[in-house]
A and B are shown apart, each in its own frame.
Chain A
Amino acid sequence: MDQTALRSIPRRRFLRAAAGAGAGMASWLALRKAPAYAQKRELTFLSWNHFVPAADDELRKQAEAFGKANNCTVRVDTMAHLQMPAKIAAEAQSQSGHDMYRTASADPFLYENLLIPMDDLVEKLGKQGGGWYPFAAESCQTKSGWKAIPWFWVSFPGTYNMAHFKKAGFEQPPKTWDELLKMGKVLKKQGNPVGIAISHCSDAHSTYWSVSWSYGAKVLEADGKTPAISSEKTAQVIEWYKELYKDAMEPEVLSWDDAGNNRFLLSGKGSWIHNPVSPYNSALANKQPIADDINHHNSPAGPAGTHSAPPNLSLGIWKFSKNQQLAKEFIAYLFQKQNFDAWIVASNAFNHPPLKNLADHPIWARNPKFAMLPKEAEYGHPRGWPAKPNEAVQRIDDNYVMADMVAKAVNGMPTKRAMDWAQEQVALAVKGQLKVG
């Protein structure tokens, strides 16, 4: 080996490596800091993947229009809603991320001290829009004021297959949960059972809250701290579920995810589910003939009246955002009548406005299959009612306590024991209370 060559190689190599590392560092630093002069304000918004893609397209269109009018850019990022909790937690934890995002259920309470107050905007838009629906206030107004502004809610009616009902001799869909039970028995014998999820999915709880309130049962007292799930009324609810499971449903409801009931109805087997209008809309989109047979009806009532738990989505702005005022202006822009209307149409009636004046859009009145939906707002409550949707409610919901309680009961556990288990779980959820302020 030539000695001089040998000695010089490492040096050359070293210099090359150092240059490479230096270039790497330089480019890294450059990518970190955007040049100061080029800064147009950028507003970032994290939302979910609307199941009607056209709604997201409309949202982006409006974002662009707003950006042009206000000399800024608005970036709308969307992701699957089941992946959002992880992302939101990461943003809350690292205090960086999007300026505003679509909150769900108890987020305004969970992140109460991380979101900015929205009282001024809420009042302005409320006046302009004829007032908010009561459940909207219940879900976004925390002890320290409005921490999010309700954006839209999703109606949760009974979705049924008219042809199956007709074949069974029923001209009208059920008006009460009891009627559903009776009709369900007949329908199951016909080979078209009904379906309510009893599994680890959000639909399972949406229905449970609905049924239990209709029977006058609750999970927590209004103070948000006292477990109230173990009661005569809850026992009634569980017995109802047991009978429904045995005589009107099939075991597959124990494994459903949120899409399970959609598949059930669209396969032609199911006759009735409790769900937003997504199956009807996707049948239309896929040009499936079953779309003609699908219709909706208002959520059934019970001895204690009609109640339902429509998913209620709102918009929150993080405290760490540097564009808080801009975000508020963007929200106000979205709520302008022509914009919100366009967005409702794009979603094919899926998105319901939380403001009374925006709710009489002809899209519902025009289509007999949608006409009954806006009424759902009148008896909607956020999860946890009569308690406010605090972090205990969130935990109970996220840990599927009620779904598990019903599942245990239908699988043979005595009702009282299942209720006691649920009561214990609720007590545990209440114990670790978040300290706010």
Chain B
Amino acid sequence: MASARSRGAHIRSNVFAYANLAPYVFFVLFPFYFMVVTSFKSNAELYNLKSIPFWIQTGPIMDHYALLFQKTDFLTWMKNSLLVAVVATTASVVISILAGYSLARLRFRGAGSFGTAVFVTYLVPPTLLFLPLSQVVVWLGLADSVLALMVTYPTFLVPFCTWLLMGYFRTIPREVEECALVDGATRMQTLWKVVLPMAIPGIICAVLFSFTLCWNEFTYALTFISQSAHKTAVVGVTSDLIRGDIYFWGSLMAGALLASIPIVIVYVLFLDYYVSGLTAGAVKG
């Protein structure tokens, strides 16, 4: 009897939870559903005041997707985005691992202030920074190349990842490291063979976060890249599908959805790591 009652209570509590979650899920998914429907709707129906926004009454069309793939360099843009995201993320995570470990574990003068300084760089708005930065990019000879993005993206990735990994490294017991050192490992070896394997969830979390930020970045990609063949997905879609005062809504929505797919895949695969990565990093950070 007692188990049946608690089962009932359990089900009731789940239903209660679902009921509370429903508005959130609705709020979150509503625009996505709308984007999907719009990307398959014909223009005539889209601009018809009497049509129903949630349905496709005149039959779905593939024209918008076709335009995206045939008339624009969409696949090239996706490739560029991917390349930039992978390289910038790798570079940033490596730099952040080194800096994070150093600030978390090692004692030396100025560690605290450097940590704060790293954080303060976040306060500088990229909408202001991009102009002097464009000058630096030219001096480095990187104008109009994806290398410019690979070099500048770490500037906003490293601060957050460093902070995140700092928190994570602090959760690893000192004894483990000291054991390794006594055993004869160098500090670098300790980091590489002992600490890092225990910090994998945190590192994955940093990788996911960086990848997302790289993929979504707009201002630098707009300013430093000129040629269509070098553009990233976000810049390309907004640039080529808004012509004068005409918005190609169907293709824009199609582009937006397709451009999100890579990140969604990455997140779905690693979501558990993401959550557990933030746990230790956030609480102890």
Contact = CB atoms under 8 A, between A and B. Distances in A.
A contacts B: CB pair < 8 Å: yes
B134 interface: yes
A1 interface: yes
Contact of A258 (B44, B71, B245): B245
Contacts of A65: none
Contact of A49 (B43, B147, B185, B242): B242
B121 interface: no
B227 A96 contact: no
A51 B243 contact: yes
B75 interface: no
B141 A32 contact: yes
With most chain A CB atoms within 10 A of its CB, the pick from B132, B138, B238 is B138
Contacts of B222: 79, 83, 86-87
Interface stretch (A144-152, A173-181, A280-288, A427-435): A280-288
B243 A97 contact: no
Contacts of B240: 49, 78, 80
A48 B185 CA distance: 60
Contacts of A94: 134-135, 137-138, 143
Nearest to A269: B49
Given A90-B130, A98-B226, A267-B49, A79 B245 contact: no
B181 to A, nearest CB: 13
Interface stretch (A3-11, A366-374, A418-426): A3-11
A93 B239 contact: no
A11 to B, nearest CB: 11
B184 A3 contact: yes
Contacts of B184: 1, 3, 6
A89 interface: yes
Interface in B148-198: 183-186, 188-189, 192
| Tier of interface size on chain B | 35 or more
B145 A31 contact: yes
A287 B247 contact: no
A9 B43 CA distance: 63
B142 interface: yes
A96 B247 contact: no
A31 B147 contact: yes
A195 to B, nearest CB: 14
B189 A9 contact: yes
Interface in B232-247: 238-240, 242-247
A287 B188 CA distance: 67
B244 A46 contact: no
Nearest to A266: B47
B171 to A, nearest CB: 25
Interface in A62-80: 75, 77-80
Interface string A259-292: 1001100111100000100100010001110000
A9 to B, nearest CB: 7
B243 A53 contact: yes
Interface string A240-265: 00000000000000000111001100
B216 interface: no
7 contacts: A1-B183, A48-B244, A51-B245, A90-B223, A94-B134, A257-B245, A286-B43
Interface of A: 1, 3, 6, 9-10, 13, 28, 31-33, 44, 46, 48-53, 75, 77-83, 86-87, 89-90, 93-98, 203, 257-259, 262-263, 266-269, 275, 278, 282, 286-288
Given A32-B142, A33-B141, A52-B243, 10 more contacts: A1-B185, A10-B186, A49-B239, A51-B246, A77-B228, A82-B242, A86-B130, A87-B226, A267-B47, A286-B47
